Structure 1
């Protein structure tokens, strides 16, 4: 892409660290590489309020790997954004200082509102019309309503697959009492915020929890981004897939051909969040559109100044 700006975007979440190197020119974007590593930065943060030393070591090691790759690929700008776990950790400066020493740029710790906006723009920049974007992460979940690139309403909930697994679902497989307690918690959190929304006619699901549930609903023989991106899956099929994943043991989830091994132990809680959202949000559609474009793409657009 002639005269394009090559940027490297890094999204440091509670469970994973992801890299996107992409060429941006005007409203065009052409991806060069996408990478993801499960680093579990949020290990124990919900309980202790601090990053565990091992989690920091894992995250900084992958940051170094991604920084070297970005340099080899000729990235002209690097943007590193951290989300839920970095908002909560008392020792977040240990992460920030470490990243800055490796990349030469200081991480941006996104607020819940910033995270919601980046997710919405990443998922919908090339589309028109109104939509609700659902982004379930390891530490938080963002719901965003907007149209044609403009955010009209958003809310960030402190519920994510890692946080809720540690808090509510310690057993393997999960017990009925654990599931009941988490269902009640999610209903009490979500319903007051979303029940007054106008019925949603387009619902877009992004990020690893939702794409993994989609892979299960589609019964994919392996994780296939091309099959997942843009897939329109019935709400009923997504909810059935959520329940199926929740009931499995971690070993059975790990044996699924599309399952990333670093997601197997927390996907049950993530699936419960998605199921609760689909139950609580007023829907004027019976399908979920799944997108592989998400907050990482929003970070990249921001790195390019757009």
Structure 2
């Protein structure tokens, strides 16, 4: 996950296992604030990215549901009311971007504008009245950019990216960090809604189009990545159906069985009540049944191994397009956590020292769990400004809901629980207890040990690169040995000793304390 092909950027061994920070490098500094406009068939959106270049924060995010593509199938032209609303939105976005120093904006238009006979006229009017230059991209290019957005969050992934907009749906292969074959279709819910012949006519149209796409792409049995607002709406409905408590759409997983159950749940539910419970706009809810018909056939035709929702898509793909390869190769989770530490921690850089100090306790963990330990160490002090009575809960909430790429929901909960134990010995009595069930008992124990190790290690601050000592962990003997330097020994006061004993208790280990020269 953290390899890089550029030795000059990767830094020397002193930075292992974290690698030298990239967000301050001249080669990526121009990515500090990037503005992107997506003119879609259903919505027009401005996103301004900021922060860590590899896993950027959403500095600003605004969407206007303009429905440019409404009625396009009958008239061949953009929706007149939608066109006025889109023009007003784009004028506003251009002014906002100037104020945020995020110009020039990168603006693209997709299916509605490229298919409408007055699409070129609209693009010219936007440029004339706002100065914004919109690129109208072909469907295959839209598929490529959406797939690159998925790669921003899942480096090196394998699978099929399915991006649905208002008037089109694209499929793209991703293999080992590269985008492969791509195909586009008129299967956006606005287009599907206008198909003649009712449900039977829609079903025949959808089946024919997906059969054509499947013939071009061949067998696809890896993960299906869902990109687009209609898919996110269906994921919210799936969460509601299962009373799923972690309302984070990115990396939310579904199975083919759960998709079928949710399609039926949508069909038989009161849409007004469902929309209110799930926080879905009326416009999106109106299109959800048509999107559900499309997804049912996609799943039936391609039979994916599993299904993951991606909040990253075309807009993130445009950012990914601007990244040097050395940046693309980085782990988005570690880069985001490192940036958070640099911005908010009291002693930036201590997270690396803390990781090196507690690492011997976690040597047996697999690499995918080791990276969560690294992330926790980087984040261990970023919420110190919160009131002490609520600090543990703020840590958990931040870890489970923050914009962090490359993190499964179970890993979010593990990270949150470890950070909760960074500030609190007991996890009972919090408002998050309903989430603990999504971790196996051994994972809950490991998160507790990690949190308590950080809780103790945080009391041994000397300076950024100073090594206070070392742990030696003998799991078979159940002995936790702590070797502290003579300079660090006075730090082992009453509170620190209490925390050390608590850590040993969670490990069910005996303590062995030694002073080194």
2:283 corresponds to 1:262: yes
Structure 1 partner of 2:183:
155
Q: Aligned with 1:35: secondary structure?
A: strand
**Larger deviation: 12-21 or 238-247?**
238-247
CA distance in 1, matches of 2:323, 2:225: 24
Q: How does 1:46-195 map to 2 (within 5 A)?
A: 46-126=73-153, 127-168=155-196, 178-194=198-214
RMSD: 2.6
Q: CA shift at 1:76, angstroms?
A: 3.2
2:228 corresponds to 1:201: no
2:257 corresponds to 1:236: yes
Task: Check 1:102–1:305 CA distance in 2 against 1; reply closer, same or farther (3 A cut).
Answer: farther
Structure 1 partner of 2:319:
300
Task: Check 1:98–1:55 CA distance in 2 against 1; reply closer, same or farther (3 A cut).
Answer: same
Q: Aligned with 1:262: secondary structure?
A: helix
Q: 1:257-299 CA distances to partner (integer Å, 9 max, x unpaired)?
A: 321122122111111111111111143x1x2111100111112
Structure 1 partner of 2:48:
21
Task: Check 1:216–1:226 CA distance in 2 against 1; reply closer, same or farther (3 A cut).
Answer: closer
**Larger deviation: 124-133 or 240-249?**
240-249
Contact 1:7 1:304 (8 Å CA) reproduced: no
Q: CA shift at 1:87, angstroms?
A: 1.3
CA distance in 2, matches of 1:89, 1:30: 34
Contact 1:142 1:155 (8 Å CA) reproduced: yes
CA distance in 1, matches of 2:92, 2:247: 26
Task: Check 1:220–1:29 CA distance in 2 against 1; reply closer, same or farther (3 A cut).
Answer: farther
Task: Check 1:157–1:225 CA distance in 2 against 1; reply closer, same or farther (3 A cut).
Answer: farther
Greater RCO, 1 or 2 (C-alpha within 8 Å, sep 6+): 1
TM-score, with length taken from structure 2 = 0.53
Q: 1:135-182 CA distances to partner (integer Å, 9 max, x unpaired)?
A: 1111000011122332211110111111111335xxxxxxxx722221
Q: CA shift at 1:24, angstroms?
A: 7.4
State the number of aligned residues: 295
Max Rg structure: 2
Higher strand residue share: 1
Consecutive unaligned residues of structure 1, counting only runs of 5 or more, are 169-176
Q: How does 1:247-258 map to 2 (within 5 A)?
A: 247=268, 251-252=272-273, 254-258=275-279
